[in-house]
Amino acid sequence: MKKTFLVIAATLLSLSMQAGGLLHNTNQHIAFQRMMARGATTDIDAIFSNPAGTAFFDHEGWSLSLNIQSASQKRDVLATFPLFTTENHTRLYEGKVSAPVIPSAFAAYKRGSWTYSGFFGITGGGGKCNFESGLPMFESQVMAGIYSKTQALLANQPLLRSLVGADAITPDMYYMNSSMKGRQYIYGLQLGAAYKINSHWSAFAGLRINYFNGNYSGHVDASLGDEIKQKAMAVLPTLTPEQQAAYGPMLSTLGQAGGLTQIKLDCTQTGWGVTPILGVNFKTGPLTLAAKYEFKTNLNIENDTKELEAKAMGQDSEEMTQALEASFGHGVNTPNDLPSVLYVAAGYEIIPNKLRASVEYHFYDDKHAEMANNKQKALKHGTHEVLAGVEWDINKMFTVSTGFQNTDYGLSDDYQSHTSFSCDSYSIGLGGAINVSKNVKVNLGYFWTTYKDYTKEVPAGDPGYSNTGLQGKDVYSRTNKVFGVGVDLKF
């Protein structure tokens, strides 16, 4: 069981809900939701999407923006394992992610050639994931462990073997109750300044301070079924004093809730890191070209563990406890770097002050950002994203827009796990803006993501499915929907 918990520890680190790479959220402003490709904008959301473009703001003085988004996601695993007692040995494990309120705030002050800007938002993670029925990697490993340990025990205990009526305890003889919850937020505070070099060029330099806060809690309880318990209670009075002394404690332990296996975990993780950011913007007539580069962020997270317990048949399990402590032990540090990112974009005003279009490309260098147990090495390549969007001013008051994003993560079987899996996807956004007045704009946006299911088949052998030696199969699937509203202000 040890390897399984090491894998869990290595992968309970990515609960990304929004658009972006494996660990980034690029959806920070409602204008992104409704248009997607915002890398060449010179509106207020440029503070995040195109910071060098803030030097081309058309407003001297203060600009502010407040945004609220609400996201929901499902992360399901359809698992097939020979010890499952369900039809076709297949179970659906449903993971529900919720982030009802995702805030972000933008502020900029422009004076002459200089624009000073700041941004605060949830730049990574962004939700809580709850697997109410547990996870297959826990349950399959526990099932295999119970079978192996009870087979060895019953081989030398004829009385116990007669009670069980078999050579080992199998899944149809006990109940299993399990759940897993995860929460992860990376809060980002960005500060920087843009300088307008001339009528065509501007440049930006700044940094983002990232603070990681997460919590992972769960339990697994495996308890004998009522039939075996009743047999044990009926046999106990008939035992001799010697037999009661030999078998009584074991029968009593196995009869308790969690008597076969009991695992408990409650761990909070925190850490911080700094991301240097550079940007450049070129504007000539209706054409805008822009680029932004975020350097790799070294981020280590430290454990504050409130509960960590593992028992097998009533006894502390040294093997499981050591495996959990390796990554969830109090004070343990785990790498969780944010990769370097390159954004390049082009925007073109097709009809002056009326119709605009943009295309954009993102590259996340995930393979060179250290993860727990060097998980990043399993990726085939970094993340590639292609975006496109169009925006139309119907009149001076109303604007509508739509956009598209395609994401390719470079996934592999070794990277995917039950607690942290990704699926290649495409997203479509739509929405609009209402110019309430010259200095007040209200944005509304909605986007959804369609994911491509990822199938992972594991042959029998070493290590087998979740290190059980048995074969198994997983089909990973996800859904994602985000709605938001925001207001832009000028003073």
Per-residue model confidence (pLDDT) at position 19: 61
Distance of alpha carbon 344 from the chain centroid: 25
Cα–Cα distance, 14 to 183 (Å, whole number): 9
Per-residue model confidence (pLDDT) at position 121: 95
CB 334 within 8 A of CB 373: no
Single-letter amino acid, residue 81: F
- Judged on CB neighbours under 10 Å (0-12, 13-18, 19+), 230 is exposed
Phi/psi class of residue 138: alpha, beta or left (left: φ > 0; alpha: ψ in -120 to 50)? alpha
Per-residue model confidence (pLDDT) at position 127: 65
CB 12 within 8 A of CB 420: yes
- Domain harbouring 41, CATH code: 2.40.160.60
CB 95 within 8 A of CB 75: yes
Cα–Cα distance, 52 to 291 (Å, whole number): 8
CB 386 within 8 A of CB 420: no
Per-residue model confidence (pLDDT) at position 319: 76
Cα–Cα distance, 462 to 460 (Å, whole number): 7
Length of the chain: 491
CA dihedral 219, 225, 228, 233 (to 10 degrees): 80
Structure tokens at 104: 């972000």
Q: Is the dihedral of CA 228, 229, 234, 239 positive or negative?
A: positive
**Structural domain total, the chain:** 1
Tens-digit pLDDT string for the chain (491 aa): 444 443 343 334 344 445 667 778 899 999 999 999 999 999 999 999 999 999 999 999 999 999 999 988 888 999 999 999 889 999 998 888 777 889 999 999 999 999 999 999 999 875 677 777 777 887 888 888 888 888 888 888 787 787 777 888 888 888 888 887 888 889 999 999 999 999 999 999 999 999 999 888 888 888 888 877 777 777 777 777 887 777 777 777 777 777 888 888 899 999 999 999 999 999 999 999 999 999 999 998 999 999 998 888 778 888 778 877 877 889 888 888 999 999 999 999 999 999 999 999 999 999 999 888 788 899 999 999 999 999 999 999 999 999 999 999 999 999 988 777 889 999 999 999 999 999 999 999 999 999 999 999 999 998 899 888 899 999 999 999 999 999 999 99
Q: Is the dihedral of CA 452, 185, 216, 379 positive or negative?
A: positive
CB 29 within 8 A of CB 69: no
Q: Which residue segment(s) compose the domain that 290 sits in?
A: 2-490
- Judged on CB neighbours under 10 Å (0-12, 13-18, 19+), 58 is exposed
